[in-house]
Amino acid sequence: MADFFWVYIILIIGACLQSVIGFGLGLLCAPVLYWLMPELVPGPMILNALLITGLLSIRHRGAIDKRSTGISIIGGTVGVLIAGSVLSIVKPEQYQLLLGVTIILAVLLSVIGYAPRVSIPNNLVASALSGFMGTTTAAGGAPMGLLYQRQEQQKIKANLSAFFVYINLFGITVLWATGRVNERDFILFLQCIPAILIGWGLSHFINRSLDNRYVRYLILLVAALSGVALVVLH
């Protein structure tokens, strides 16, 4: 019971963060929950992410760029399919270090002034990495967050949420098909739903006081923490 209290606290913070900057639930929660209650990663966490991104997609549906999101879905599909193959033959620690270092380098480039342009090639690469990381670690937001870091915050949340609805749904389907998710994961997800809804509700109050500059800082901070977490878990 005590463990689930802390699980709820972590999920509330993560869901609120995701609702504020467009990603962060998996990046913040997955590494911590992996140590606290490892059975929540990746299956139940992907389902939690599916719930919060679904709510955000509905809230920000008017700002969704269908063309950009369509390109992201193509790249994300490739990433999820690669993840499904890799999970059956490669241990997670063999690629977590590489992904973590790559994200940290991307954050450092962003801090010194470089930010990738939202172009078709960059979109495909970032979405493929996010699809791969989201399926294998339940924490796939950093690449897409870095890509969109200089966009207006409504656009960030709308496009990332629409993309991750698809990626999370596709990812959980792949994990189910490969035997990595079972009925127990869905039961754990149902137990997490109140925490996700509370975090989503709290974000309504925080969103009123944030401007685009602070959203970008949060994106860089969360992405950096994600990279460090992947390296440490390795």
pLDDT of residue 190: 96
Residue 99, both tokens? 């992904």
Residue 183, pLDDT score: 93
pLDDT at residue 76 in the model: 95
**Residue located via tokens 């495909």:** 124
SS3 sequence of 14-71: HHHHHHHHCCCHHHHHHHHHHHHCHHHCCHHHHHHHHHHHHHHHHHCHHHCCHHHHHH
Q: Would you give per-residue pLDDT tens digits along the chain (234 residues)?
A: 557 899 999 999 999 999 998 988 887 788 788 778 989 988 999 999 999 999 999 999 999 999 999 999 999 999 989 888 877 776 666 666 767 777 787 788 777 777 788 999 999 999 999 988 888 777 788 889 889 988 888 889 999 999 999 999 998 998 898 888 999 999 999 999 999 999 999 998 888 777 777 888 888 888 888 778 778 766
Give the model's pLDDT for residue 98. 67
* Sequence ranges of the domains in the chain: 2-233
Q: What is the dihedral of CA 62, 63, 64, 66, to 10 degrees?
A: 90
Dist. CA 68–CA 100, nearest whole Å:
26
